[in-house]
Structure 1
Amino acid sequence: MAVVWQRHPRYSLFIFVVLASTFYLLGPYHAATPFLTSTMRGLPRGNDLPSRLARSDRIYNKLLLDRKGLIKKFGPAPKDIALFPPNVSPWPAYTVWDFFPAAYNCPHEIQRLGALGDGGKWVCGISRVEHKPDCVVYSVGINYESSFEAEILSNTQHCQIWGYDFTVNAFGPQITGAQKGRTHFQAYGLAGADHHGPDDKPKMYTLESLMKMNGHTHIDILKIDIERWEFETLTALIKPYLTSGRPLPFGQLQLEIHIWDMTFEQYLTWWEMLEAAGLRPFWTEPNLVYQNYNRHGSTDLAEYSFLNTKGSNIFIKDAPGADHAGHNHA
């Protein structure tokens, strides 16, 4: 090899120029990609929980600007949004989800708990409540399918689950043996107002009433699947907290959304109320069971998981005595 370099100095010079040019052109990409310089500049670089949350907030705030731009493009006002295909009343859901992506980065591990299909839910940081002695979970809408609740019980030591559904009389068969000792079931419904008089069948309670009945001031994980009543129920729940400035009484929310008979403007107003209360979506998936079963192939049901970014819940604040992995010591 040395002989080649000695006998052909022009060849050596050519190789040198090529290598130098290559390193020069690659230099900017090695130093910083365009994505990092335009999107990530100024983000906290630490790996502690406050830094991770700050990065997630910054990224989600950009999404809010992008949504405004998308509405202006297709509107220009929310009342003008006509989704594909046009001229379908009230409006189809084929593209609505494009306006509301789950763009918030969960600052912990994300894990699907429950069935790989209808019934399973995505949870942010189940490890945060693995050893939490006062872990409280509410599950509203059982439909005799409790794989989600069973996996929460399997992944935690102390979590107690309160379940509500007036269409069944117990949790599903997935909860067995000793797990049943950490569950509590009532055939009640969740609503925006109380209706539980002697003649009310089924009996309906607000979330605040159920919590008061159980002696709870906070819920770690709240799952709701109540066939479109989520709009009335969450509106009634959230508005008093927005008015008073108090944080919502739960750490995260797993919610199936049913956008039947709504306009885009109505849905946007409701969604922005969730955001104003501190709820940030970190995962979503369409309900493919419903989509394939429905003869029109409708996509107006979707599962969303939200993190509550306000207050001091266990998913956004380190508890005293927590180790670096975020586990609480009982």
Structure 2
Amino acid sequence: MAGSVFIRHPRYAIVLAFLLASSLYLILPLSGPPGGFTPLRFANNDFTDLSYRMAQAEVIYERTIQERAGLIERYGPKASEIDMFPPNKSPWPAYTVWDFFPASFNCPHEVRRIGVLGDGGKWVCGLSRVVEKKDCVVYSVGINTESSFEAELLAETKHCKVWGYDFSVKGFAKQIPSHQLHRTEFHPYGLAGFDRAASGTEPAMYTLKTLMKMNGHEHIDILKVDVEGWEFDTLTTLINSFKGSALPFGQLQLEIHAWDRKFETFLKWWQTLEDAGLRPFWTEPNLVYVNYANEGKPHLAEYSFLNVKGDNVFTKDLH
């Protein structure tokens, strides 16, 4: 199980210590009512700065981790005994894997859906933070035939440039108007946990570190990834390649495909994301897939994560 907030995020330790001791910025557990719940009290966010809101969100997310352990104990009690999608009427109350991983981290800014309603749009935390940012960098991996996310993001910001990657199409979809194409760059590459140049019918595949090196980038503000199930290996390799340093992006929009996954391995993978500093602030099940899939199970879910480690424009006031 992931460690405490102080171990995982030492840069928040001083802030949290101050908040816990302050009468104005109070985070104080109270004696809970019967049932084991311990209420948390917080200062009114109308009078708090970004560092406080980040620390507050981390305290709330720490509670989610504790509650996840309790849910595993209830239905397991071991993780290896948990079903991803239990059969009808067994157990009751019913659950799915997504109930163990709620998007309970509070984005400290506005949350907006960028792109069309339905399949294609993504939830973004604090787009206002990059509207004027001159070196704003966006990577979009997995485009298919839908580019409304990229089109609206370009329209809403002044300087953001979008790098697109997808070996199954020849470029961005028609939603991006011609006058915005100069702020885009497309390559028929895939994102993977290894590097491989194109050969015959095999497309080129590269790690995020390699793609960033090709482009001369040290940081990505927004990273959108939809790689049809390869996200498990890809993100594991990505995280391992940046061990010892913060992940090089501010937030991540990711579609997770839970096909043929075991709960125990999914949990370990998710904890790898958490330990790397990724916090889910929004989730949306892919109900179109549920509607048309033969089994009718919610195998797919969109998640949006904020990176709380390192310095990025969404979590710190950078000057």
TM-score normalised according to structure 1 size: 0.81
For residue 75 of structure 1, what is the aligned residue in structure 2? 76
2:177 pairs with 1:179: no
**Structural mapping, 1:187-202, within 5 Å:** 187-196=188-197, 198-199=199-200, 201-202=202-203
Does the CA-based 8 Å contact 1:115-1:148 persist in structure 2? Answer: yes
Does the CA-based 8 Å contact 2:86-2:96 persist in structure 1? Answer: no
Alpha-carbon offset, residue 295 of structure 1: 2.5
The one-letter code of the counterpart of 1:278 is G
User: Helix, strand or coil for the counterpart of 1:256?
Assistant: strand
Q: Which has the higher helix share?
A: 1
For residue 249 of structure 2, what is the aligned residue in structure 1? 250
User: Residues 200 and 249 from structure 1, CA distance in 2 versus in 1: closer, same or farther, beyond 3 angstroms?
Assistant: farther
Does the CA-based 8 Å contact 1:130-1:158 persist in structure 2? Answer: yes
For residue 99 of structure 2, what is the aligned residue in structure 1? 98
Alpha-carbon offset, residue 230 of structure 1: 0.4
Q: 2:98, 2:283 → 1: CA distance?
A: 9
For residue 312 of structure 1, what is the aligned residue in structure 2? 311
Does the CA-based 8 Å contact 1:309-1:316 persist in structure 2? Answer: yes
Q: 2:232, 2:190 → 1: CA distance?
A: 14
Does the CA-based 8 Å contact 1:94-1:298 persist in structure 2? Answer: no
User: Residues 156 and 84 from structure 1, CA distance in 2 versus in 1: closer, same or farther, beyond 3 angstroms?
Assistant: closer
Does the CA-based 8 Å contact 1:43-1:55 persist in structure 2? Answer: no
User: Helix, strand or coil for the counterpart of 1:217?
Assistant: coil
For residue 229 of structure 2, what is the aligned residue in structure 1? 228
**Structural mapping, 1:258-269, within 5 Å:** 258-269=257-268
Does the CA-based 8 Å contact 2:161-2:184 persist in structure 1? Answer: yes
Give the stretch that moved more between structures: 77-86 or 282-291.
77-86
Q: 2:242, 2:175 → 1: CA distance?
A: 35
Length, aligned pairs only: 281
User: Residues 200 and 248 from structure 1, CA distance in 2 versus in 1: closer, same or farther, beyond 3 angstroms?
Assistant: farther
Alpha-carbon offset, residue 302 of structure 1: 0.3
Percent identity reads 60
User: Residues 83 and 149 from structure 1, CA distance in 2 versus in 1: closer, same or farther, beyond 3 angstroms?
Assistant: closer
Does the CA-based 8 Å contact 1:101-1:284 persist in structure 2? Answer: yes
CA displacement, residues 47-84 of structure 1 (integer Å, 9 cap, x when unaligned): 21001101100100000000001001111110111355
For residue 297 of structure 1, what is the aligned residue in structure 2? 296
Q: 1:255, 1:79 → 2: CA distance?
A: 25
For residue 237 of structure 1, what is the aligned residue in structure 2? 238
Q: 1:296, 1:207 → 2: CA distance?
A: 34
Alpha-carbon offset, residue 240 of structure 1: 3.0
Q: 2:38, 2:67 → 1: CA distance?
A: 15
The one-letter code of the counterpart of 1:304 is Y
User: Helix, strand or coil for the counterpart of 2:242?
Assistant: helix
TM-score normalised according to structure 2 size: 0.84
For residue 17 of structure 1, what is the aligned residue in structure 2? none
Alpha-carbon offset, residue 241 of structure 1: 2.5
For residue 205 of structure 2, what is the aligned residue in structure 1? 204
Q: 2:84, 2:259 → 1: CA distance?
A: 14
| Residue ranges of structure 2 left out of the alignment (5+ in a row) | 1-29, 89-93
2:154 pairs with 1:153: yes
Alpha-carbon offset, residue 177 of structure 1: 2.5
| Residue ranges of structure 1 left out of the alignment (5+ in a row) | 1-31, 88-92, 321-330
Q: 1:94, 1:216 → 2: CA distance?
A: 42
CA displacement, residues 246-299 of structure 1 (integer Å, 9 cap, x when unaligned): 100000000000011110000000000000000000000111111111122120
Q: 1:94, 1:131 → 2: CA distance?
A: 43
**Structural mapping, 1:124-163, within 5 Å:** 124-163=125-164
The one-letter code of the counterpart of 1:261 is D
The one-letter code of the counterpart of 1:307 is L
CA displacement, residues 14-41 of structure 1 (integer Å, 9 cap, x when unaligned): xxxxxxxxxxxxxxxxxx9x89x94323
Does the CA-based 8 Å contact 1:277-1:310 persist in structure 2? Answer: yes
2:301 pairs with 1:283: no
Does the CA-based 8 Å contact 1:44-1:51 persist in structure 2? Answer: no
Q: 1:146, 1:273 → 2: CA distance?
A: 30
